[in-house]
Amino acid sequence: MGMRAFLSALVFLVLALGAGLSASERIVQQVPNPALANAPSPYLRHHASDAVRWRPWGRAAFEEAKGRNVPVFLSVGYLACYWCDVMQRENYRDPEVAKLLNEHFVPVLVDREAQADVDELYMAVSAALRGVAGWPNHVFLTPELEPFHAEGYLPRERFIRLLEQVAARWRENPRELRASARKIAQAVREYLQRQGRAKAALESLTRERFLRIVHMLAARFDPFHGGLDGTPKHFRQPLLMLLARAALAHHDLSARTALLNTLRHVTRGSVYDHLEGGFFRYATDAAWHIPHFEKMLYDQALMADALRAGWRLSGDIRLKRRALETLDFALAQLRLANGAFAASLGAHTPDGREGGRFLFTPEELRALLGAEDAKWAEAKFGIVTEGALTGHVVAHSQDVALENPAERQRLQRVLATLRKALVSRPRHARDEKAITGWNGLMIGALARAALQWDRADHGEAAARAAHLILRRLRTSDGLARYWLRGAAHGRATLQDYAYLIDALLALHDWRSDADWLEQAKRLAREATQRFLDERSGRWWFASARTGFARLPPPADRTLPAADAVMALNLLRLAARTGEDEWRVLAEGTLSSVLAKALEKPLAHVSALRAADIFLRGDDTPVQYAANSHLRAFARWVDVAERRFAVRVRIAEGWHVQAPEPDDENLIPTRLELLRPKGALLAEVRYPKPITRALAFSGKPLKLLEGAFDITGRVTLPTRMRVPVVLRLQVQACDDETCLAPEWLGLYLPPPETARSGP
């Protein structure tokens, strides 16, 4: 029996929810709530003047519930959440609703971004009880914090009826409700424990099995518009990165097609902001044309990485431009004065109008563009005919023939005019919290763009943000969750550590700075002490128990699973430090999660990707060998002539053999072409070797050491738009011994083009 079915048998509380009645007059509480007015969370402060007298999550609220013997009403949301704002306007500022909540419950408000562990636990509860979970998330708890009912958004009349029924049932039979809550809590605890007790299955993930899973997932993608079938449509960036791995490392066509089709459609649809850049949170329609207008920091970072991955596969210049525009949007509108990044931009304008800044009526288009361009814009963009955006236009380029210079120029002219109109429009609210993990995602995306596209400005921005996080959010008690108003707040989760370590490794790859690597090692050791059960290889999401249970890391959703990211971090630490302890920890982590991944692949795509990298090698642009003493990076130096260079850097005291070594027992340094079929490698030139006598050799040997380039040219079949894969064979030695031979896979993206596709 699944957890939801089991819980359904336990839950006896049946609440009849009738149709809504007319709303009463809204009255806003005039006296700010002192418990929230100075809270270190913009979301909590935003609710300080509600008629509901909220308490922050904490001991005082729980003791009050026990003392009064009333349930806790837990509401979890965040500042950029549109339906949280609607719930506030319709309910929390209403005197009748407030009277019920204040008299019969202890209302507790949580910012899900500031207290991620509380959010994750009670999201799991809502998913179990309701089969679906989202924000705002409302959970009724006993004073012991055990759950007995959960709801999402409710209109006023239904919400009042629910509160009355729960209050009456608690008065009549609190013992029975407590018994039900204990059973629900125990069922959730057992489910979470089972998740962490899966048997090791790493060795079962053969290449064939991995690709069967990829094909099954790719088959679920919408062939017309990209993305997973169904609505609403989320980007599912972790899934996109799994497809990118399969397409790049395994040359898989189904993964390539699903990924590039999705990226092409999301970057041309309205879910990408064609006026100010960056991605809205998701689309409510299949064609990506009707966005939900929040802009989350993590979406900008993860989509920039996904677009960079698509560019590595296709060479599509438009994907590169969108990636850079997305990062530039984050730098322009989400970067704080101290160099870190704010959490989000809200979905609505100050008057509560969702997407108001980006919407235009046909009349507004005619006034701004003139009759002809307005008619063209209406035809290309379309007018929304249903839902809250009915009668409005949102800019996109899906129906514009971009290959036609006249069409492309007209689109640019129209968008430029609409951008100017934004100057006089109100901005959406910005949540100023600098969340550690989300900053890690953006730092990593910026650093990878700096390396891949030689963008020093992005690298410097990443380094500045990383310095701020390490300086201001490192406390005597470990990393803090976020920075706001000049102070650090909360305890970091595994997610914060994992994403920040990944960012530091990306900075190390960009500049080969030993300090970034040392910081990554320190945080990894701290993370293992706080979150890892080394006997089982299982990670915890928070460093301590939350409410009634200790949480495992959540599976892949919009954000990649933290334990899978940690596994990749540990693998990459091993490659960059030569310290095998990190690889051992990575293997234990993957062994503990892979059984779940094989059972439910869609929920664990990051673990599948990490396991494939563990088994068959990494695909990062910079590759490491010789226990971290050698690093290599391939790049085009003349795309038109298809000329490339492989830059190799070897640590002092180490060397590799020349292409034609004097000793036949030594492995030569040699560059080969693996893919694509039909391509030819020509004019390969190695640096001039030095000659030196070593302790183990009775005669001088020809060696390569220090930093040097191996250059060459590739002849590609006509119109072939796939990556060029090189293989570098090396055997590294110091003065006394030689390591085993190694082979590094190096990836060159297809020469840039204005078109993408399989």
Handedness of CA 520, 521, 522, 525 (dihedral sign): positive
Is the pLDDT score of 550 beyond 50? Answer: yes
Q: What is the CATH number of the domain that holds 335?
A: 1.50.10.10
Do 552 and 673 share a domain, yes or no? no
Tokens at 718, concatenated = 């006509």
Q: pLDDT band at 76, cuts 50/70/90?
A: very high
pLDDT for residue 378 is more than 90? yes
Asked, for residue 756, whether it belongs to a domain, the answer is no
Classify residue 757: in a domain, yes or no.
Answer: no
Q: Tell me: the pLDDT tens digits for 471-498?
A: 999 888 899 999 999 999 999 999 999 9
3-state secondary structure of 563: helix
If one compares 70 and 661, the residue with the highest pLDDT of the two is 70
Q: Respond yes or no on whether the N-terminal peptide bond of residue 676 is cis (omega within 30° of 0).
A: yes
First to last CA, the chain: 42
Amino acid sitting at position 137: N
Cα dihedral value 624, 628, 629, 631, nearest 10: 20
Specify the DSSP element, H or E, that contains 328. helix 317-329
Q: What is the per-residue pLDDT for 523?
A: 98
The CATH number that applies at residue 54 is 3.40.30.10
With CA atoms as reference, report the closest residue to 490 among 502, 481, 501, 499: 481
| Mean pLDDT to the nearest integer, 585-612 | 93
| One domain for residues 396 and 363 | yes
80: containing domain: 3-196
Cα 524–529–534 angle (5° rounding)? 95
Do 470 and 412 fall into the same domain?
A: no
Residue 437 has pLDDT above 60, yes or no: yes
The answer on 651 and 572 residing in a single domain is no
Same domain? For 240 and 273 the reply is: yes
Asked whether residue 329 falls in the same domain as residue 471, the answer is: yes
Give the Cα separation of 501 and 504 in Å (integer).
5
Cα–Cα separations (whole angstroms), residue 151 to 84, 126, 598, 672: 13, 7, 31, 59
**Last residue of some domain: 427, 455, 483?**
427
Does residue 99 lie within any of the structural domains?
yes
How buried is residue 103: exposed, middle or buried, by Cβ count under 10 Å (0-12/13-18/19+)?
A: exposed
Q: Are residues 718 and 662 in the same domain?
A: yes
Provide the number of structural domains found in the chain. 4
Say whether both 344 and 381 belong to one domain.
Answer: no
Helix or strand run (H / E) with residue 732: strand 732-733
Domain with 728 in it: what CATH number? 2.60.40.1250
User: 682 has which bridge partners?
Assistant: 713
Give the dihedral of Cα atoms 491, 494, 496, 498; nearest 10 deg. 150
Residue 758 lies in a domain: no
658 plus 610 within the same structural domain: no
Instruction: Return the structure tokens found at 304.
Output: 């920039």
Whether residue 11 has pLDDT greater than 70: no
Both 367 and 344 in one domain: the answer is no
Domain contains 51 = yes
Cis peptide before 71 (omega within 30 of 0): no
Q: Is 658 in the same domain as 716?
A: yes
Instruction: Report the alpha-carbon distance of residue 502 to residue 573 in Å, rounded.
Output: 10
- Per-residue confidence (pLDDT) for residue 704, from 0 to 100: 95
Task: Give a yes or no: residue 577 inside a domain.
Answer: yes
Evaluate whether residue 753 is within a structural domain: no
* C-alpha count within 13 angstroms, C-beta hemisphere, residue 185: 20
> Mean pLDDT score of the chain, rounded to an integer?
90
Phi, psi angles (nearest 5°) of residue 287: -95, 10
CA dihedral (373, 379, 385, 391) in degrees, to 10, reads 10
Domain boundary among the residues 595, 616, 637 is at 616
* E strand or H helix at 83: helix 82-87
**What pLDDT is attached to residue 508?**
98
Chain position carrying tokens 């913009």: 42
The per-residue pLDDT for 24 is 37
Handedness of CA 100, 104, 106, 112 (dihedral sign): negative
In a domain, 691, yes or no: yes
Query: Does the pLDDT of residue 575 top 60, yes or no?
Result: yes
Listed range (78-87, 236-245, 611-620) with the worst mean pLDDT:
78-87
- Return the DSSP state at 415: H
pLDDT tens-digit map of 623-654:
999 999 999 999 999 988 999 999 999 999 99
At 73, phi and psi to the nearest 5? -100, 110
- Give yes or no for residue 25 having a pLDDT over 60: no
Kindly tell me the sign of the dihedral angle through the C-alpha atoms of 691, 694, 699, 701: negative
pLDDT at 27: 43
Of 589, 616, 643, which residue is a domain's last? 616
- Work out the average pLDDT over 710-732: 90
On whether both 84 and 158 belong to a single domain, the answer is yes
Residue with tokens 């009880």: 129
Q: How far apart are CA 656 and CA 195, in angstroms?
A: 46
